Chains A and B, each alone.
Chain A
């Protein structure tokens, strides 16, 4: 779980980036806790890639600062960062082993270390027989694996993965997911940019949501979820639910066969779930009772939807 008490491995302060007439990032600040999985979310064109390119030093920010482990970001950090871009690519006519060696050496890894780790990783991801093959002879999934290896081979402290699961079948996606978790447990921090909310839910310790060049939300996943709770409970049971009470409000009710029902009930302020439960027990047979916690997907849609129509972008910080 997140070690939110430690100093952030990466801190972005008020970063601004302008491309000609288009503002890609408008004063974005965020902090990525060490040894956690950090979800960088946002709709297409929100500015995620621009931010990632600044962190990976592909481009510079127009203003604002980025700190890596307390130091101002500089080229000496390149070896401590690993980056898997959304648009994957390798030299097609290069052998898998040579390509990994080349990319690792460009990330400041010595030849000897690189060779040893390449062997280990190819073994681990079952690519050993392909080491001497040209990349173009590999299937797309295998190429993705090679690219993943290239990203983590130099054992970076900070790994940035842009849509890491695209192009993987479910089995390989799981394999990669396990590797990501293992990397975190070994001490790495992972920034994870994606649209696939279920993987965010599954993996991320904390998130930041960027929309229209601004950060609109960030913090630990549990905190955010709590913050977006609406004091709503889901009830399933048997019987006839006739809820006429000043303290509760039924938002949704569905009849099911054999007199079963499903309902969502919102509590008004000052009411506890136990009050509702007590009331329900008198009326129906309760089969299930649980708090409704919003999914990241719902939060995403709510926040992005809120800011969609107008220019009224509010800065909500958890």
Chain B
């Protein structure tokens, strides 16, 4: 054990001392913070799309079209469609779409409306516009059939949903946007770290092999010790990096970002503290959603109590509503389990090939489950049912569970499933480590041989 500890130390220290480690550790949180602030600024200043309405009908639809969060209707330049188009092209401030309602448009002939834009009109925008127009026409039709405006207004039902996670003590409010965002963020972290550091393990092994230091090492320590020492040493590097990122991005988002955002909006803050917290919160909602653009604008509204102005900023305040302990614990466990499982396979690949270009063919079957589990998990868990049968199986199979389970964590996972999946993952990495070690001990001393899968499978059964 003493020797494996020496190996772990060396692997850890040589990597942490590298300048690239320092640069990545410092730059990544800074970049994250900067993009966050950038998105926050951008999205807080972004307003509803301006839609110019060229209404040639006699219905005066414009008066009926209601502005929403996304759309703001203005009259187009009077005259022919061509004139309206010309004005639209040059309009300042920028107009996003031109809605043309033809002269023969009536309540009984609702055909012929066109929407034009510079380039393609985004599908979402088209849908929003259609909704607004449909609503306006429906109201006109209702009015025609004698229903009074008050009745129409009264008939509009407004329903808001507040999702509550009952597993949490006190049933705190939860919102899908943040949960989804965290699911994305955690799983992409697992995916990235396993990939990046798994490949580092592979490189480390094949470097030792091509450096020809292997024989000296193996005469001092067992191949298994050397392999595990490297894997664990690099695991330490990952954890250090992760901790640094966590601390630094926390520091940056809580200390630096508010300053930047505040500087941007001096008047609003001065005028009314309540309003400032209201404008600041949508911005921070986006903090959590770097990876998931569609999720959040509604998040702050649905959060019942308005955050106090002082401590409102950052993903950190939103996290309060989630099972943060089990998420973090589960994340660490499944990340480490997944890393151990995959990196031992990467180590086996590194040991089997003479140089890294040969590694490609063997990396394929190892990276495929990793990539697949990420891609499939997104569609099954985030866009599907986080507790459905497919999600269940994905989070049980050791090759996919590190990513799938981490993705499910923020949505809440039954304890027995966590335990089962955890056990399977431990068994899984013991299995892959065993296989990898068998291949490794033969591979590291094998030079100048074209390695095939058949050859690899033979190595597993070589005697000591």
A interface, CB within 8 angstroms of B: 20, 53, 56-60, 62, 75, 78, 81, 83, 85, 87-94, 102-103, 105-107, 147, 150
Contacts and interface: CB of A to CB of B under 8 A. Distances in A.
A164 to B, nearest CB: 14
B222 to A, nearest CB: 8
Contacts of B218: 58
Contacts of A75: 222
Interface string B20-57: 00000000000000000000000000000000000000
Nearest to A104: B220
B216 A103 contact: yes
Task: Tell me the interface secondary structure of chain A in the complex.
Answer: loop
A85 B444 CA distance: 14
A88 B221 contact: no
A106 B3 contact: yes
Contacts of A56: 219
Given A87-B212, A88-B212, A90-B211, A102 B6 contact: yes
Interface of B: 3, 6-7, 10, 14, 208, 211-222, 445, 458, 463-464
Given A58-B219, A60-B463, A89 B6 contact: no
Contacts of A85: 212, 215-216, 219
Contacts, number: 57
Contact of A78 (B212, B213, B220, B458): B220
A91 B211 contact: yes
A57 B458 CA distance: 22
Contacts of B3: 106
A92 B463 CA distance: 32
B211 A106 contact: no
Contact of B6 (A78, A83, A88, A106): A106
A103 B464 contact: no
Contacts of B219: 56-58, 78, 81, 83, 85
B211 A103 contact: no
Per CB-CB distance, the 8 closest pairs between chain A and chain B, nearest first, are A89-B212, A60-B464, A89-B213, A56-B219, A85-B215, A106-B220, A87-B212, A89-B211
Contacts of A62: 463
Contacts of B464: 59-60
A93 B14 contact: yes
24 contacts: A53-B445, A57-B219, A58-B219, A59-B464, A78-B220, A81-B219, A83-B215, A85-B212, A88-B212, A89-B208, A89-B212, A89-B213, A90-B211, A90-B213, A91-B14, A91-B211, A92-B211, A93-B14, A103-B216, A106-B7, A106-B221, A107-B220, A147-B216, A150-B216
B200 to A, nearest CB: 14
A58 B445 contact: yes
B220 A89 contact: no
Nearest to B17: A93
Contacts of B208: 89, 91
A98 to B, nearest CB: 9
B224 to A, nearest CB: 12
Contacts of A92: 211
B103 to A, nearest CB: 78
Contacts of B215: 58, 83, 85, 87, 89
Given A58-B445, A60-B463, A62-B463, A106 B14 contact: no
Nearest to B221: A106
B345 to A, nearest CB: 23
> Which of B208, B220, B222, B458 has most chain A Cβ within 10 Å?
B220
A105 B7 CA distance: 10
A87 B213 CA distance: 8
Contacts of B220: 78, 103, 106-107
B463 A94 contact: no
Contacts of A94: 14
Contacts of B6: 102, 105-106
A78 B222 CA distance: 11
A78 B218 CA distance: 10
Nearest to A89: B212
A83 B211 contact: no
Nearest to B212: A89
A83 B14 contact: no
B396 to A, nearest CB: 38
Contacts of A93: 14
B440 to A, nearest CB: 13
Contacts of B463: 60, 62
Contacts of B212: 85, 87-89
B446 to A, nearest CB: 10
A53 B6 CA distance: 23
B342 to A, nearest CB: 24
B333 to A, nearest CB: 31
Contacts of B211: 89-92
A88 B211 CA distance: 8
A75 B223 CA distance: 13
A87 B444 CA distance: 13
B217 to A, nearest CB: 7
